Amino acid sequence: VLDVIVRGGTVVDGTGQPGRRADIGISDSRIVAIGDVKDRARSVIDAEGKIVAPGFVDVHTHYDAQVFWDPTLSPSPLHGVTTVVGGNCGFSVAPLTPGDVYLMRMLARVEGMPLAALQQGVAWDWESTAGYLDRIEGTLAVNAGFLVGHSAIRRAVMGDDATRGPSSPEEMEAMMALYRRGIEAGGLGFSSSWARTHNDAEGDMVPSRHATKDELVAFCQVTGEYPGTSIEFIPCVGPFQNEQMDLMAEMSATANRHLNWNVLVVTGHNGAEVQAKLAAADHARKRGGKVVALTLPMALRLRLSFLSGFALDALPGWESAMALPGSEKLEVLANPITRGRLAEQADQPGPMRHLAEWSDMTIVETFSEQTRACQGQTVRELAARQGKDPFDTLVDIVVADRLQTGFSPPVDGDGDRDWEARVAVWRDGRAVIGASDAGAHLDLFASFNYPTEMLDQAVGRRQLLPLEEAVHLITDVPARLYGLKERGRLAEGWQADVVVFDPTTVRSGPVYSRRDVPGGAARVYAEAEGIEHVLVNGEEILTRGTFTDARPGTVLRSGRDTETVPARA
């Protein structure tokens, strides 16, 4: 008797091969039969008319803290994700000096996680990577692997000096020893960042940004000594100079492991920039390395609110007002004089000036009876109808909603030409789909839903690529990049990570804010339509949008659950 049979669906196995009608038999967490399965099973899933595919693999997430307050790692599984990689950008939560709140405060700032959630939802009492991984072993709904983050290691070894400058030879040695222990415990590899947007709670550069090139390369040297490891690194924000291309090539070649960088944004009108960045891969190949861009397969819709003030606080003169406690912020916005001053300051020329095009904002979510009718309308339409100034129009809604109103600037990159340009990049070979940042930026945008967005927009509506190819790009490709053993495809003997979805209805539901984070904060959230069943290691974790009680996820350990994928053959 089998554990599960998924019966009568069209199996799209992740390799890109055409789908075929077949049953899937599952026993003891693995796929044991694909075809006409005659056996009996304890549980049968009717997949007639549905697609049966490998679970989706999201390699760039920040679920490191959420594992403690939400072991389902929602909302990703709602969109078909069964495996995630965390610990990206240098921001793992282990190793840790117990009692040190630096990493917690840094994550709140740099990854937009509510501080109260990190304080109340996470114990912060482990020390090593081993301690962290053991702590969450057996608790998760999905498979999760974690890179060992540079900023965490630097902080653990150097304390306050981590954000003061280069390391001494003794500190380097201690960091390498700690990193080795992290990889030996199962860490998936090394992550780091030099991005100038990565600042800690004090506004100082995060620890990894103080590292020299030699320090980065030393970590990569150690990485290459261990099987099944990878490297993730953000060299900069904006165009690459030769210096960054050289550095990534050297890091990858030294380790003989791939290095992926974040994030390649593709629209219909930035082709030259995209090609220049993809060239980092060619640059690395000539030097014996393998560098890959991670790209988000959808347009990013920012969701602003005065409650969080994120991004708005970058408008000239707005920083202190946006940092005020809610009640005081509400007073500032309600008072015509202080409100007027904010409007004037926002109008100053500067890099964020485009954010102050209030007329272009769309009201995406409201929170009171009197503002409900504004939902879905632009400030321009509302201001014209009410005969009011656009900023006043917006702020009146915000005040009525007690700051919670969600509003979005126009989306760049959601037209047919944009999607065509993206599909070309997915097929290029130098980029891999990922970059969701799921688990981070909880108040700013939704991109955890990229699998359902992509299946809906690129396959369903625009028919820019076959379903089989789309599935391949979000399962097998990222799984092979990280060397995930027996995951990313539906094949006999492989792990039974399976998603059953309706190809005619699959799509992301609307993005909204959901107040379910410890400490009472909200996060952006979206359910999916058409995702019928999600199985991890042969157990159903989600049935039509509802999580079961099963927590069959494996904490993926390097060497055991991953195999070495050399950068050069």
CB closer to Zn ion, 76 vs 88: 88
Cis peptide before 95 (omega within 30 of 0): yes
Single out the segment in contact with Zn ion by CB under 5 A; choices: 46-54, 83-91, 376-384, 503-511: 83-91
Give me the least distance between CB of 110 and Zn ion, in Å please.
9
Give me the least distance between CB of 195 and Zn ion, in Å please.
9
CB closer to Zn ion, 88 vs 404: 88
CB closer to Zn ion, 88 vs 495: 88
Q: Are 2 and 42 in contact (CB under 8 A)?
A: yes
Give me the least distance between CB of 60 and Zn ion, in Å please.
6
Half-sphere exposure (Cβ direction) of 368: Cα atoms closer than 13 Å: 12
Q: Are 531 and 79 in contact (CB under 8 A)?
A: yes
Q: Which of 216, 215, 218, 196 is nearest to 205 (CA)?
A: 196
CB closer to Zn ion, 262 vs 562: 262
Half-sphere exposure (Cβ direction) of 175: Cα atoms closer than 13 Å: 31
Give me the least distance between CB of 84 and Zn ion, in Å please.
12
Measure the CA–CA gap between 473 and 14, rounded to whole angstroms.
Answer: 8
Q: Which residues, other chains included, contact 521 with Cβ-Cβ below 8 Å and sequence gap of 6+? A: 114, 116, 117, 442, 443, 515
CB atoms within 10 A of CB 428: 15
Cα Rg of the chain, angstroms? 24
Give me the least distance between CB of 184 and Zn ion, in Å please.
24
Give me the least distance between CB of 544 and Zn ion, in Å please.
31
Residue 269 is encoded by which pair of tokens? Answer: 């009108």
Q: 555: part of which helix (H) or strand (E)?
A: strand 555-556
CB closer to Zn ion, 89 vs 321: 89
Give me the least distance between CB of 369 and Zn ion, in Å please.
39
Residues forming beta bridges with residue 431, ordered by sequence position: 293
Q: Per rule CB under 5 A, is residue 295 in the interface with Zn ion? A: no
CB closer to Zn ion, 198 vs 472: 198
The stretches of 387-458 forming alpha helices (DSSP H) are 390-400, 416-426, 450-454
Q: Which residues of 35-73 are buried (b: 16+ CB within 10 A; e: fewer)?
A: eebeeebeeebebeebbbbbbbbbbbbbbbbbbbebbbb
Residue sitting closest to Zn ion (CB): 89
Q: Which residues of 232-250 are buried (b: 16+ CB within 10 A; e: fewer)?
A: bbbbbeeebeeebbbbbbb
CB closer to Zn ion, 71 vs 434: 434
Give me the least distance between CB of 112 and Zn ion, in Å please.
11
Give me the least distance between CB of 169 and Zn ion, in Å please.
30
CB closer to Zn ion, 88 vs 447: 88
Give me the least distance between CB of 94 and Zn ion, in Å please.
17
The pair phi, psi for residue 545, each rounded to 5°, is 85, -5
Single out the segment in contact with Zn ion by CB under 5 A; choices: 87-95, 197-205, 500-508, 524-532: 87-95
Give me the least distance between CB of 566 and Zn ion, in Å please.
25
Single out the segment in contact with Zn ion by CB under 5 A; choices: 85-93, 222-230, 366-374, 548-556: 85-93
CB closer to Zn ion, 85 vs 394: 85
Single out the segment in contact with Zn ion by CB under 5 A; choices: 14-22, 82-90, 324-332, 454-462: 82-90
Region of 317 (left: φ > 0; alpha: ψ -120 to 50; beta: rest) is left
The three-state secondary structure class of 78 is helix
CB closer to Zn ion, 310 vs 391: 310
- The residue whose two tokens read 């089998």 is 2
CB closer to Zn ion, 89 vs 96: 89
The three-state secondary structure class of 470 is helix
Measure the CA–CA gap between 11 and 471, rounded to whole angstroms.
Answer: 11
Q: Per rule CB under 5 A, is residue 436 in the interface with Zn ion? A: no
Single out the segment in contact with Zn ion by CB under 5 A; choices: 80-88, 423-431, 506-514, 530-538: 80-88
Give me the least distance between CB of 474 and Zn ion, in Å please.
18
Residue 549 is encoded by which pair of tokens? Answer: 């009680």
In the range 442-501, which residues lie near Zn ion by CB under 5 A?
Answer: none
Q: Per rule CB under 5 A, is residue 89 in the interface with Zn ion? A: yes
Which of 88, 167, 191, 208 forms a contact with Zn ion (CB under 5 A)? Answer: 88
Residue 410 is encoded by which pair of tokens? Answer: 């126009």
Give me the least distance between CB of 190 and Zn ion, in Å please.
14
Q: Are 378 and 361 in contact (CB under 8 A)?
A: yes
CB closer to Zn ion, 110 vs 479: 110
Single out the segment in contact with Zn ion by CB under 5 A; choices: 89-97, 200-208, 364-372, 524-532: 89-97
Give me the least distance between CB of 440 and Zn ion, in Å please.
6
Count residues binding Zn ion (CB under 5 A): 2
Site string for Zn ion, 137-156 (x = CB under 5 A): --------------------
CB closer to Zn ion, 53 vs 234: 234
The three-state secondary structure class of 362 is strand
CB closer to Zn ion, 83 vs 88: 88
Single out the segment in contact with Zn ion by CB under 5 A; choices: 27-35, 86-94, 113-121, 153-161: 86-94
CA distances to 127, 180, 182, 226, 255 from 250, rounded to whole Å, are 31, 20, 22, 18, 8
Q: Which residues bind Zn ion (CB under 5 A)?
A: 88-89
